Structure 1
Amino acid sequence: MKFRKLTGTHAGRIVLAAVPVAVVSTVLMAGVANGAVPVSFAVSGSQFQISASQLDGTGFSQYAGVAPDTAGKNHQVAIANIASANLSDLCQSVVTDTPMGKVGLLITAGGNGKPASATDLQIGMTDLKGDADFGNIRIGVDASTVNTAHKGGAGDFAQDADTVKIKNLQQTAWSTQASVFTLTGMHVQLTDGAKGCF
């Protein structure tokens, strides 16, 4: 069975990138219930959007996790690790409620044929859409044995791949971190909250 190209229904929505939704829901909830690996910092009270016309990465893994906030609440996430990634036409947006109303922050980078890049990228996400190609993917591997530096808990469900390419990426996340993140042509702007990445 080949898993090289995965384009699902509902505009290419992929949850855990490859596995059927019913199975993913079961394994994710089981992983969280068993105390799955947490994101390494306390997150804010707002999720944010990330989009890119294309992501090209090497050294990919994904498994269940939690993103704790400062109030002590754990948010269920799928943790995705990419050892090295290039992101074309990168966008990140978040909207916050303030005493003056909604305020948005919009960051763009990686345009004009000069992609943004990240090393040791880790994302704690709740939703992902796109058209994906994986090289040498393994689905159902033990999370403690994935082929990336960051690993999940022993006995937890995971998947990994040597390479990953996602076109028209749209992602909702609680957290993003990287050892190095290079934003070529970065533009940061405040908005009225009506404009997001998608």
Structure 2
Amino acid sequence: MESVARGGTRWRRFAVVMVPGVAATAAIGVAVAQGALAASFSVSGQQFKVSADRLEGDGFAQYGGMDVESDGKTGHAVAVSSFDDAKLYNMCQSVVTPNVPLVGTITLKLSAGTKKDQPAVAHNLYVDLDDLSGEATFEDIDIGVAAGAKTRGPALAKNTPTGGFAQQARKATIEDVKQTAWATTAGTFKLSGLHMSLHKGVKECY
């Protein structure tokens, strides 16, 4: 059974169907079919929101997976979006933690790349998400290719498990990005103009 390394994490082959709704301004969805769907990443169990005015990514690939919480019993179907390199303009990330003793609900909020000429920059970026919206443009896109296949784009050949449904593009640009994610990993992530703050109550990015 073949596997692929992702940031030191071993991936097992899985059976998954991903249903992309791709047009000039479409979001991308994922549906999981019956079958063996192996864990792709271990997560804390808290979702977080990420927004950006614009995301520019090279070497884009997307495929299905499942994140498993630390209890080993709770899983979340995700669409794994990966980029060889990505720039995020005016990026915001927020995570809400409810029921903090003596305080109540707390929102941790992070911003970066707020200056026009200094975006947040990531290399070998992976985002495990279950909701994404924005105005998307893909260049040299392949839809419905086999994950792990050696097609004209470089991303799938090195980043994905083998055999499942996947898509890739040489370049992806998404305006007005709004996504809900379970995990984000990157080889490097440069956060220009980083600012992190705590807020009482719910104060999310969107």
- TM, length-normalised to structure 2: 0.81
Is the 8 Å Cα contact of residues 118 and 181 (structure 1) preserved in structure 2? yes
Q: Deviations over 1:123-174 (max 9, x none)?
A: 00000000000010000000122632310331x1110000000000000000
Is the 8 Å Cα contact of residues 39 and 67 (structure 2) preserved in structure 1? no
Query: How much does 1:29 deviate?
Result: 1.1
Query: How much does 1:15 deviate?
Result: 2.3
**Could you say which residue in structure 2 is the equivalent of 1:174?**
182
Partner SS state of residue 193, structure 2: coil
Q: CA-atom RMSD, angstroms?
A: 1.8
Task: Give percent identity, aligned residues only.
Answer: 38
**Could you say which residue in structure 2 is the equivalent of 1:103?**
106
**Could you say which residue in structure 2 is the equivalent of 1:15?**
28
CA distance in structure 2 between the partners assigned to 1:50 and 1:81 by the alignment: 15
Is the 8 Å Cα contact of residues 106 and 190 (structure 1) preserved in structure 2? yes
Is the 8 Å Cα contact of residues 22 and 28 (structure 2) preserved in structure 1? no
Structure 1 residues without counterparts, runs of 5 or longer: 9-13, 17-23
| Cα distance, 1:80–1:36 mapped onto 2, change above 3 Å | farther
Q: How many residues align?
A: 177
Whose helix fraction is larger, Structure 1's or Structure 2's?
A: 1
Are 1:35 and 2:37 matched, yes or no?
yes
| Cα distance, 1:4–1:136 mapped onto 2, change above 3 Å | farther
Q: Match for 1:184: what amino acid?
A: S
Structure 2 residues without counterparts, runs of 5 or longer: 1-20
Query: How much does 1:191 deviate?
Result: 0.8
CA distance in structure 1 between the partners assigned to 2:83 and 2:135 by the alignment: 17
Is the 8 Å Cα contact of residues 77 and 126 (structure 1) preserved in structure 2? yes
**Could you say which residue in structure 1 is the equivalent of 2:132?**
128
